Chains A and B, each alone.
Chain A
Amino acid sequence: MVASPQPAARLQWLFGAMAMPRGWRAGAGPMIAAAVLILIVLSALLAPLIVPHDPMSMDALQRLKGPSETYPLGTDAYGRDLLSRVVTGGRISLFIGIGAAVVSVLIGLLIGLVSGFFRLADAIIMRIMDSLMAIPSILLAIALVALNGPSIWSVMSAITIPEIPRVVRLVRSVVLSAREEPYVEAAIALGSSMPKILWQHLMPNTLAPLIVQGTYICASAILTEAILSFLGAGVSTEIPTWGNIMAEGRVYFQLKPSLIFWPGLMLSLCILSINLLGDTARDMLDPRLKKRER
């Protein structure tokens, strides 16, 4: 007998009765991924406190040095500390990744709910979404940067806008099937207003797939940011991001490959662990996959 909604009941609310995993038994892979991700996020958050040097300060005497006690990973072409730059670079990369995921999921959720429930709106919205999907994010980024100059915000909108249609389609498909459920019809019969039905009955159904989709968007946004910076169409070059550090290191690749190796390693680890966690979330939230495994 449950007196008040307990943690288990809250999870139930979020993911529905069917999808509740029997035990949160994740394998070793997801655990390692979670640990790596937490480490990267924490170090990025605390970067100003823990880095040994100012990531921006140049020292002409210390150009392209190898690892030493003062510079654990060596220095770049301007004599800046590579470790400090890589750790600080994670701040922008993660901010863009998480920001793009949150913004596109939120906007996509709203549009998707409306589009899934109202026939007329659906016809119009989905055609707009189709055309949005046709825009490659890199091209859009180059255009936006050319218009507004390089900034975090142009990069983030360039990444977010093409992701929105994918979220909209996902939400719409969930709403389309959920609206046929008798409990939604019962709510209509009880005189509930459309916004109320949308938000209280239908929206919770979309949360589980959205969480999974969010992780994928996050990973791909981090990657796209790195690509854009590498191409010179991203965040302005003096701000350290993983993409920028690699772009600068490219010139000295023959001389000092570690300039590309360390930010590249961080990038891969970060994306790998986010994707792995996303897969785990999907397996746990999808009742069908769970059954097959057992």
Chain B
Amino acid sequence: MRFKTRNFNDVPSVLEINELTVRLADNDTAPPVLDRVSLEIRQGETVCLVGESGSGKSVTSLSVMGLLPRGALAATGGRIELEGTNLLELGPQAMRHMRARKISMIFQEPMTALNPVIRVGAQIEEVLDTHAKLPAKEKKARVLDIMNQVHLPDVERIYRSYPHQLSGGQRQRIMIAMALILEPQLLIADEPTTALDVTTQQQILSLIAELQEKHGTAVLFITHDMGVVAEIADTVHVMRHGQIVERAPVEELLRHPKHEYTRELLKAVPSLTPRPARSQPEGPAVLSVNGLQKIYSTQGIFSRRGATQAASDVSFSIPRGRTLGIVGESGSGKSTVARCIMRLIDPTEGEIRVADREIARLSRRALRPYRKHIQIVFQDPFRSLNPRWTIGRSLIEGPLNTGEDKKAALKRAAELLMLVGLPDDAVNRYPHQFSGGQRQRVAIARAIAMEPDVLVADEAVSALDVSVQAQVLELLEALQKKLGIAILFITHDLRVAAQICDEVVVMQYGRIVEHDSASNVLSNPRHAYTRALIEAAPGRAWDFANFHELQTA
């Protein structure tokens, strides 16, 4: 693994944050959101700010941009110095002058950060307009030039495109073009690749690095992904509860983490090395999918577009107590497969056998008794529980449907909560009183309450912080050992797949391109796409949990 090792000792600093404190606006007694955060970024340096959700990474970047939500958060102490001016003292007018020209920012979700009804070319020009007066021709030339610099293909066409006509990676390139067109000294990137696929992420990361080198821009990069940190950082700051707990050059931090929290954070990063193979189980498959096909056809009076094959000829089977992972990038059809198996959407063709019963052709009503054999856990724990229902009510919904007595169901709900590691008095509480990880446990308990044979986990840990992710994976594994359920684990994250799956199916364009044991897929990938996926995984040569290079045996 090669880290960046440039020495920044003699380089002048661009931004200095000194003892910055941010508090809730109307509440002086609550602990501060940012507690005396100090941070320095020098010319051409990439500073990574790492931490879990709620640690104050984004608040730090918003403070620098002067974009703290007014009336909710307020900076109460410290200085943010850019070229000797304290940004906290600037008025709105002066601050606006700073933005784009001196500091600019790119966000996580390029779709929502771009205006959907304005052509992207015009949106980039708008940045120029507010800060410089240029004749139209020159303006367009500059926009096309920056679009070329971010390696957009066919810039004339994209100049006239609307955001929805571009891919996620192209949209993020547009955002970067907007951010860099005025050549600011500082670029703040707030999780800019989190919403992107790994292969796209790799391209965007190298683009940022390339432009940084060309223009000497300093970058403040906010991320939760240690792999990304290993790839791009010069200096790393670890944040927790609004404080910076450790700062060090990247290699030193990864090799010799000093603070306990940093070590925990690094240990929680799932390894790309597949876990040791478990013994082959006997017995027939509890879930088998054969020739599954899903075609979305758009039949309209006005439009006649071709049909989309979201999944075609998908076949696999899972025996009891085993975990099969489906890995692929967005649009590969992995979620379509999960939803077909759950019969949330109807497959066009193929057969799905759950507990020796063909369910692909059953009507919704005829299917209901068989639903208990197969349950699902969704990605977003904030939306998968009804916010108006107590945890208990959510947990007994399924058992009541199968005719269980309410009292018995409630008693079992309390037991299930213990089983997933939550206090049993959680029955009477509401989802908003729990954290994301806890809610995901509730969602798992709800699925387990039906005593299913198969559990479908659709990106079930993707929305969680790494440490919580590790706990939920452990829980799933423990439950599997105890109850012998088969798990269909759908994920885009190879690291997670390596940790929990016995077998891995790799999907691309709705087809299975590779299907083998987890260790074979990860160490001897046969298909080019699988190889590309593995190569794009950031920090793949580093064993984070053990603080050294990955030993290739």
Residues of chain A at the chain B interface (Cβ within 8 Å): 1-5, 9, 12-13, 16-18, 181-183, 185-194, 201, 204, 294
Q: Is B246 an interface residue (CB 8 A)?
A: no
7 more A-B residue pairs beyond the given contacts A185-B344, A185-B378, A190-B446, with a C-beta to C-beta distance below 8 A? A2-B430, A18-B387, A183-B394, A186-B385, A188-B371, A189-B375, A191-B402
The reply to whether A2 and B378 contact each other, CB–CB distance below 8 Å, is no
Closest A residue, CB atoms, query B402:
A191
Residues of A within 8 A of B342 (CB): 185, 189
Q: What CA separation (Å) do A119 and B397 show in the bound complex?
A: 25
A181: chain B residues at CB < 8 Å are 383
Q: Could you name 25 residue pairs across A and B whose Cβ atoms are closer than 8 Å?
A: A2-B429, A2-B430, A4-B428, A5-B428, A9-B430, A12-B430, A13-B388, A16-B388, A17-B430, A17-B431, A181-B383, A183-B386, A185-B342, A186-B384, A186-B446, A187-B397, A189-B342, A189-B344, A189-B374, A189-B375, A189-B376, A190-B371, A190-B397, A191-B402, A193-B401
What are the interface flags for B53-71 relative to A under an 8 Å C-beta threshold, 1 for contact and 0 otherwise? 0000000000000000001
Give the residue of B72, B385, B431 whose beta carbon is less than 8 angstroms from that of A294.
B72
CA distance A201 to B364 in the complex (A): 18
What residues of chain B lie closer than 8 Å to A1, measured between beta carbons?
Answer: 425, 429
* CB interface residues, B 293-346, toward A, < 8 Å: 342, 344
> Which residue in chain B gives the minimum CB-CB distance to A197?
B397
Minimum CB distance partner of B25 in chain A: A294
CB distance from A288 to the nearest CB of B (A): 14
Chain A residues whose C-beta falls within 8 Å of the C-beta of B364 in the assembled complex: 194
- Contacts of B428-445 to chain A: CB distance below 8 A: 428-432, 443
Residues of chain A with a CB closer than 8 A to B42's CB: none
Q: Which 7 pairs, one residue from A and one from B, show the smallest C-beta to C-beta distance?
A: A190-B398, A191-B371, A182-B384, A182-B378, A17-B432, A191-B401, A17-B387
Secondary structure call for the A interface? helix
Q: How many A-B residue pairs have CB under 8 A?
A: 77
- Whether the Cβ atoms of B388 and A182 lie closer than 8 Å is no
CA distance A1 to B371 in the complex (A): 34
Residues of chain A within 8 A of B397, CB atoms compared: 187, 190, 192
Closest beta carbon of chain B to A92's beta carbon, Å: 38
Contact yes or no, B71 A183, CB < 8 A: no
- Which residues of B lie under 8 Å from residue A183 when comparing CB positions? 383-386, 394
State in angstroms the CA–CA spacing of A185 and B339 once bound together: 10
Binding site for A on B (CB under 8 A): 71-72, 342, 344, 364, 368-369, 371-372, 374-376, 378-380, 383-388, 390, 394, 397-398, 401-402, 425, 428-432, 443, 446, 450
Residues of A within 8 A of B394 (CB): 183
Complex: how many Å from CA A181 to CA B386? 9
Across the interface, which residues of B come within 8 angstroms of A3, CB to CB? Answer: 428
- For B450, the chain A residues whose CB sits under 8 A away are 190-191
B425 partner residues in chain A, CB cutoff 8 A: 1
Task: List the A residue with the shortest CB-CB distance to B375.
Answer: A189
Q: Considering only CB atoms, which chain B residue lies closest to A186 in the complex?
A: B384
What residues on B are CB-neighbors of A194 within 8 Å? 364
- Contact (Cβ within 8 A) A186 B443: yes
Find the residue from B388, B430, B443, B446 having the highest chain A CB count within 10 A. B388
Please give, as numbers and ranges, the residues of chain A lying within 8 Å of B344 by CB-CB distance: 185, 188-189
Contact (Cβ within 8 A) A12 B388: yes
> How far, in whole Å, are A1 and B376 apart by their CA atoms in the complex?
29
Contacts of B378 in A (CB 8 A): 182, 185-186
Bound form: Cα–Cα A194–B376 in Å: 18
A101 to B388, CA, bound (A): 26
CB <8 Å contact, B369 and A191: yes
Pick the residue among A4, A186, A201, A204 that contacts B376 (CB under 8 A): A186
Q: Which residue of B is nearest A180, CB measured?
A: B383
| B-chain residues with CB within 8 Å of residue A192 when the two chains form the complex | 397-398, 401
A2→B430 CA distance, assembly (Å)? 9
A186: which B residues are within 8 A, CB to CB? 376, 378, 384-385, 443, 446
Considering the chains assembled together, what is the distance between the CA atoms of A188 and B342 in angstroms? Answer: 9
Cα distance A225–B110 in the bound complex, in angstroms: 52
Q: Which of B371, B429, B431 sits near A189, CB closer than 8 Å? A: B371
- Give CA–CA (A5, B394) in the complex, Å: 15
- The distance in angstroms between the C-alpha atoms of A9 and B431, with both chains bound, is 12
List, in ascending order, chain B residues with CB within 8 A of A9's CB: 430
**Chain A residues in 8 Å Cβ range of B368:** 191, 193
